[in-house]
Structure 1
């Protein structure tokens, strides 16, 4: 059942609209813009219905906020309001609303318009998802990563919780490709991606292909030591695949991992910590590869072995 967020300051009108819709949809009702925005940020809604006239924050201001945030900008918004003049309708549609319906509503027409937008939204999300997936490995691609780190960084900053980013890549992958050929190398990339993603499955986790044989992962909420321990498990699981390597150093395919954990503060820049993660990866490689090196963003560092 599609989830719809209904934002209307009138208790009577809100309850009436919810009664019309809740037989066909999972409806959440909010009576002010702030609580509506908080619910929308969960990212679980397929459509938002909202009034324009609301106390404190009007619907047009809320619509601008929804359009400005990655989490909510793709959710279709239908304005349902008593303002029937052309100027308000034009403003709402210009700001990004997909439809403008005046009260009192006709239930059958309201549902028909909602269903049309839900079908459009489903198609849009389907093609968007395809555009965000790495075709070879089936995990997220670089474009999806760019969206995810921004969203998760902001969330960690807002909540004051740990944010971890790591980069890992396949050890001596060029030697493997030269020995076994690129088709075999592609299978290795896919196996590594599937193994890592099988551990990174929480809503707050992310793993994507960064480029070539490099991958990037993000955790939200884990402290530095637990993140380090977590990626030790992933590193070992990849080694345990026992994919033969034609390297004088390694019997099996392995990965090196570099990461950092920080609690973001106002003024912090994500790219600073991505560079630290890359530096930790460089240290892992220089120290013998097939290991995890992790930083807390300060003086403390964890190294699996040397």
Structure 2
């Protein structure tokens, strides 16, 4: 069931809207703009119904704040107000509202407009999800990673928590493709992605296909030692799949992993730490493959083997 947030200082009007919509949607109500902003930032809503005239922060100001936040800027907002002049309606639409309903409203009109905008939002989410998903593996693609990485980097700075960037790829994958063919190579990429994804299920974990046989992982809040141990387990689980490789290079398909954990600062650069993770991956390859090499917060290397 899709979720709708109603922000209205009138308890009576909020209850009226809830009664109209609760048969089809999960409804949450807030009676101040501040409470509405807090709820909108922590829950996933498909639509927000927002009263314009409220004490303190009004609906227009709240709409501006919602449009400024990455988490809420894509959620459609319908303004509901007693202000009937063209200037206020135009202003609300310019700020980013998808619709403008004047009081007194009618239940059937509210339902029709809400249904329309929820359907449009669901369709847009579906299209966005498809555009951000790697078609072979079903995990996030490079485009999704590029959006997510900077968002989470800034979040780690704000929350003052450790941030981990990790890169890994399949060892001697070109030899595998040359030996077994590209369809078999695709199945290996799928198997590796599925195994890694099974161990990266927390809300603070992120896995994407970076390109070809290479993957990128982002972890939020883990120490270097914890992240290092977690990726060692993933490396071992991939080896334990016992997918036969070309015997001239390896018994099984394996991966090499490089990562770095850092306490990010506002003056630090995400790209510089991505390069460090890539260097750790290169070192893992150079050291014999099928291993994990890590850089901790003090840039001291942790070696699996």
TM exceeding 0.5: yes
Query: Does residue 191 in structure 1 map to residue 159 in structure 2?
Result: no
Separation of aligned partners in 1, 2:62 and 2:167: 37
Give the CA deviation at 1:121.
Answer: 1.1
> 1:73 maps to which residue?
73
Give the CA deviation at 1:147.
Answer: 2.0
Alpha-carbon distance change, 154 to 56 in structure 1, aligned in 2, over 3 angstroms? farther
Instruction: Confirm or deny: 8 A CA contact 1:132 1:141 kept in the other structure.
Output: yes
Alpha-carbon distance change, 6 to 151 in structure 1, aligned in 2, over 3 angstroms? farther
Deviates more, 1:152-161 or 1:109-118: 152-161
Gaps of 5+ in 1: none
Listed as ranges, the matches of 1:221-300 within 5 Å are 221-246=221-246, 248-300=248-300
Instruction: Confirm or deny: 8 A CA contact 1:6 1:30 kept in the other structure.
Output: yes
User: What secondary structure does 1:285 align onto?
Assistant: helix
Separation of aligned partners in 2, 1:42 and 1:10: 23
Give the CA deviation at 1:215.
Answer: 0.5
Separation of aligned partners in 1, 2:54 and 2:300: 50
Instruction: Confirm or deny: 8 A CA contact 2:156 2:163 kept in the other structure.
Output: yes
Give the CA deviation at 1:103.
Answer: 2.0
Listed as ranges, the matches of 1:1-306 within 5 Å are 1-246=1-246, 248-305=248-305
Residue correspondences, number: 305
User: What secondary structure does 1:41 align onto?
Assistant: helix
* CA-to-aligned-CA distance 1:223-271 (integer Å, 9 cap, x gap): 2111111111110111111111115342111111111122333333322
Separation of aligned partners in 2, 1:259 and 1:234: 13
* CA-to-aligned-CA distance 1:123-169 (integer Å, 9 cap, x gap): 11111111111111221111111222233223322322222121111
User: What secondary structure does 1:257 align onto?
Assistant: strand
Instruction: Tell me the TM-score normalised to structure 1 length.
Output: 0.92
Separation of aligned partners in 2, 1:206 and 1:51: 37
Give the CA deviation at 1:22.
Answer: 3.0
Instruction: Confirm or deny: 8 A CA contact 2:5 2:29 kept in the other structure.
Output: yes
Separation of aligned partners in 2, 1:269 and 1:111: 48
Separation of aligned partners in 1, 2:55 and 2:154: 27
User: What secondary structure does 2:115 align onto?
Assistant: helix
Give the CA deviation at 1:96.
Answer: 1.8
Instruction: Confirm or deny: 8 A CA contact 1:164 1:259 kept in the other structure.
Output: yes
User: What secondary structure does 2:188 align onto?
Assistant: helix
* CA-to-aligned-CA distance 1:72-102 (integer Å, 9 cap, x gap): 2221111112221111111221222111111
Alpha-carbon distance change, 56 to 159 in structure 1, aligned in 2, over 3 angstroms? farther
User: What secondary structure does 2:261 align onto?
Assistant: strand
Alpha-carbon distance change, 15 to 269 in structure 1, aligned in 2, over 3 angstroms? farther
Deviates more, 1:104-113 or 1:126-135: 104-113
